[in-house]
Amino acid sequence: MNSIQKILYIKNPLNYGVSAGFNQGIKIALIQKSEFFLIVNNDIIFRKDSIDNLLKFARNTNYGYVTSIDSRRCFKQDYLEFKLRNEEWEGLCNSCFILKKSTVDKIGFYDENYFPAYMEDIDYIERMGQAGIERRSTFMSIIFHDEGSTGRKNNWKLTSECNSSAKLYEFAYIKGKEYFKKKWGFCPN
């Protein structure tokens, strides 16, 4: 992380949801006059060069949104053994990415109606697409995303809206997809 000047860690007393957390960090970074916003899920494991390479990619391209690649999920390869190469990919890994200030200036913040999580990333990508903002991943920034571990580790509690056999994260995913369909008129696979 040689190219990173300042990292601010924010710990909230309550779960305000993924979108609200992203927005909180972006707003603080805007006050600090940041041009790039690194947003990372809490269940990401990095290679030592992942963040520097992602930031370099963001600085050297005109893309408004750039992501790392989860080598295990996308290519069934261990993240430490994955061979880096100077190539781009249209697939996006929405668990570790950099947004440019120009993107936020153009389309705004994340929709906080996706609570607590799920589909806020797809919604933002849809908004970027409609605004003509290009986005790409780089094979120079590889990560491991221990997908779903947050919900498993925290044993998310049921809410009055969930039936007794559902876990909150499963309920939130369904709720997010329903809200997305209502907002956009379609639901991605």
- Asked whether the predicted pLDDT for residue 94 surpasses 50, the reply is yes
- Whether the CA torsion 162, 22, 66, 145 is positive or negative: it is negative
- What are residue 36's DSSP bridge partners? 100
- The domain spans of the chain are 18-149
Exposed / middle / buried, residue 33 (Cβ in 10 Å: 0-12, 13-18, 19+): exposed
Write the pLDDT tens digit of every residue in 2-20.
666 677 788 889 889 999 9
Q: ∠ CA 8-37-183 to the nearest 5 degrees? A: 120
| Fold held by 18-149 | Spore Coat Polysaccharide Biosynthesis Protein SpsA; Chain A (3.90.550)
**pLDDT tens digits for range 134-176:** 999 999 999 999 876 665 555 445 455 544 445 666 788 889 9
